[in-house]
Structures are given as C-alpha cells and as structure tokens.
Structure 1
Amino acid sequence: MKILLIGANGEIGKILQPALAKNHEIISAGRTSGNFRIDLSDSNSIEKLFEEIKNIDACICVAGDCYTGDLLSLDEKKLNIGIENKLLGQINLVLIGQKYLNDNGSFTLTSGKMADKPVKNNISKAIVNGGINSFVLAASLELERGIRINAISPAKVSDIPIQDLINAYNKSVEGIINGEIIKVNY
C-alpha cells in the first residue's frame, strides 16, 4: 500500500513511520521535513501536495498545532491556532484529498483524549479534538468510491505502550472499519 504520512517527523510520526514501512511504501510530508512540504492551514498547500503525489492508497495525518492554556488566557486568536491548523487542516485534507485518493482508500485523522476527557488548561484541545471526531463520524456516511475515514484518539503518547498506538493506526489503515474513533489507552 502507498501511504501518505503527514507529520512523519512529529512525536507520533516517528513511531509510525518505521512500523508502517515494514509492509508499505511511506511518503512523508511535513511543514519543515519529509519527502514533501505541507502547511495544513493552507488549502492551496494541501491541493499542491495531492497533485504532486499520485496513486495514494491511504492518508494518515498526525500533525496539527493547538494552543494550551487556561480559560482566562484563551481568546479567538489562540483558539484559531488549533481550529485553523489541526481541525480545518485535517478536514481540508479529506475534502481535497478525496478527489485524489485511490478507490477503496482511507483517511486516518488524529484527535486526542481531550475530546472525551478534558483536563484543565486544555479547552482548545478539547474543542478541536471533539470537532475532528464529529467530522469523522459525519464524513464516513458520505465519502464515495469505497473511501473510509477513521480517527485515532490517543492519550498522552508517553503514557501509551508504543505497540498499542501502532496497532490502532494499522487497524484503521489495513482494516475495513469506517467512521470509528479508535481510543488508545484512556
């Protein structure tokens, strides 16, 4: 399978890339590293990436910035960091990428535990991760050509057994599930 991995040089990407590369061709993309460059907050950058890479079977996104801070420090500008980058970035990845992905391909987005179990100083993450999960549930009902979509919702990566994290992404990419939020070690 030819897999586009966005955020391959990030915390999760560094775990996934070597594990997936054992059985698949991995094309990496990131803001500052990887085979290709992408700015998730720019839909033109997303379109350009998909135009450059052909015959993608799966797209995994493990990238996206989000503001961390308490409610009193949160304002529209800080909230928009996560909305424009992680939430809209991943949504646009699907909206644009669905035209380019091979038939029966898949999207695997990344949300996070804060969608279901927020903690203090992480309101922005809760909003953004919840939005990603809702998008996956709704989009799974309408994607065409057999394309599937799922989200991985991990707890803090340092608290997760690495193999559990890898298994979650493998389940989404290699399996048949659609419209699932795969929770990892809550």
Structure 2
Amino acid sequence: MRVLIIGATGTIGSAVKRELETSHEIITAGRNNTNIFVDLSNPESITSMFESAGKIDAVVCTAGNSYFGPFQDLTPEKNEITILSKLKGQINLVLLGINHVNNGGSFTLTTGILMDDPIVGGTSSAMANGAIQGFVKSSAIELPRGVRINNVSPTVLKESIEKYGPYFPGFNPVPASRVALAYRKSVEGNQTGQTYTVY
C-alpha cells in the first residue's frame, strides 16, 4: 500500500513510519524534513499535499498542535490554536482527501487520553480529541467506496515522560512502538469507526 503519514518526524509519527515502512510505500508530510510540506491549519496546503502525493491507500495523521495551559488562561485566541490544527486540520484531511484515497483505503486520525482522563491544563486538547472521536464514529457510516476511518488515542509516551511527566502524575506511560501498533491495526485491518486506546 501507499501510505501517507502526516507528522512523520514526530515521536509517534517516526514510530509509525518504522512500523509500516518494511511492508508499505511511505510518503511523509509535515513542516520539516518530509517528502511533502503541509500546514494542517491551512486547507489550501492540505489540498496541495494531496495533489503532490497522488493516489494513496491510507492516510495517517500523527500531527496537530494543541494549546496547553490553565483554564483561567484559556482565551478564544489560544483555543483557536487547537481548533485550527488538531481539530479542523485533521477533519479537513478527510474532507479534502477523500477523493485521493483509493477504494477500500483508510484514514487514521489521532486523539488522546485527555478526552477520557483529564489533566489540569488539558481542556483545549480534550475538546479537540472528543470532537475528532465523534467525527470518526459518525463519518464511518457514510464514507464512500469502502473507505474506512479510525482514531488512535494514546496516553503519555515513555519517550516524552521527562518533558511532560509533571503534567501527568500517576499516569502509566507507554512506548511509542506500542502506540505504533494501533496505527498498523487501523491501516491493515478491516474495522472502521473505532477508537484504538493505548493506555
């Protein structure tokens, strides 16, 4: 399969690329050091990415910026960071990419544990995660041509615990390699409308 990975240079994206590249042709997209540049917050950039990639069998998104900070500091402008990138960016991948995905292909989006297990400062991210999960579940019954859609919801990563550990007290971190298996399940399996939790 031809698999387009958005965010392929990040911690999760790199692990997904390693997991899939031995069996599939990988096209990478992102802001830096990838085959194709894309800015998720810009629909025109997303359209250009798909035109450059050509026909593909699977789209995997491990990218998307979110605002983290105390609720009392959350403003509409700060929340818009999350809305434009993590939320609308991923949804627009599906809306603008559906005609570039082959029959029986798939989309795999990324949510996260905060929609199920909140932390202080994570309201904006939790909002986007929950909305994406709802979009995935609902759109799965309407996508044409046998195209599937799922989302992967990881917890904090072992590779990131030194940086983010103080924000996740008592959480059990998982290695990125384990998270990558959920993306493989989505790409190579037959399920649709699912949330694959890696907690």
Structure 1 residues 94-133: aligned runs within 5 Å: 94-133=94-133
Equivalent in the alignment of 1:181: 195
Give the letter for the 1:139 counterpart: S
1:105 alignment partner, SS class: strand
Amino acid at match of 1:129: N
Q: Secondary structure at the match of 2:101?
A: coil
Q: 2:175, 2:89 → 1: CA distance?
A: 27
Partner of 2:53: 53
Say if 2:66 and 2:125, in contact at 8 Å, map to a contact too: yes
Residues 1:151 and 2:187 aligned together? no
Aligned equivalent of 2:141: 141
User: Matched residues in 1 for 2:111 and 2:33: separation?
Assistant: 22
Q: CA deviation at 1:157?
A: 1.7
Aligned-residue RMSD, C-alpha: 0.9
Question: Which residue number in structure 2 is paired with residue 22 of structure 1?
Answer: 22
One-letter identity of the residue aligned with 1:183: T
Deviation digits for residues 17-39 of structure 1 (CA, Å, limit 9, x no counterpart): 12210111100000122000000
Q: How far has the Cα of 1:63 moved from its partner?
A: 0.2
Cα distance in 2 for residues equivalent to 1:164 and 1:154: 9
Q: 2:179 aligns with which of 162, 165, 170?
A: 165
Q: Which amino acid aligns with 1:33?
A: N
The separation in 1 between residues aligned to 2:18 and 2:89, in whole angstroms, is 24
Aligned length: 185
* 2:19–2:181 CA contact under 8 A, matched in 1: no
Cα displacement (A) at 1:161? 3.2
In structure 2, the gaps of 5 or more residues are 159-172
Checking the alignment, whether the CA contact within 8 Å between 2:182 and 2:196 is kept in structure 1 is yes
C-alpha deviation, 1:164, in angstroms: 2.3
> How far apart, in 2, do the equivalents of 1:73 and 1:33 lie?
33
- Structure 1: state its 5+ residue gaps: none
**Contact 2:152-2:198 at 8 Å conserved across structures:** yes
TM-score by length of 1: 0.97
CA distance in 2, matches of 1:108, 1:89: 13
The residue identity in structure 2 corresponding to 1:170 is R
Partner of 1:32: 32
Q: How far, CA to CA, are the matches of 1:133 and 1:172 in structure 2? A: 14
With normalisation by structure 2, the TM-score equals 0.91
Pairwise CA distance, 1:55: 2.1
**Alignment partners' CA distance in 1, 2:192 and 2:78:** 32
| CA displacement, residues 98-145 of structure 1 (integer Å, 9 cap, x when unaligned) | 011011000000000011111111110110111111110111111000
- State the 4+ residue runs in structure 1 displaced beyond 3 angstroms: none
Deviates more, 1:160-169 or 1:71-80: 160-169
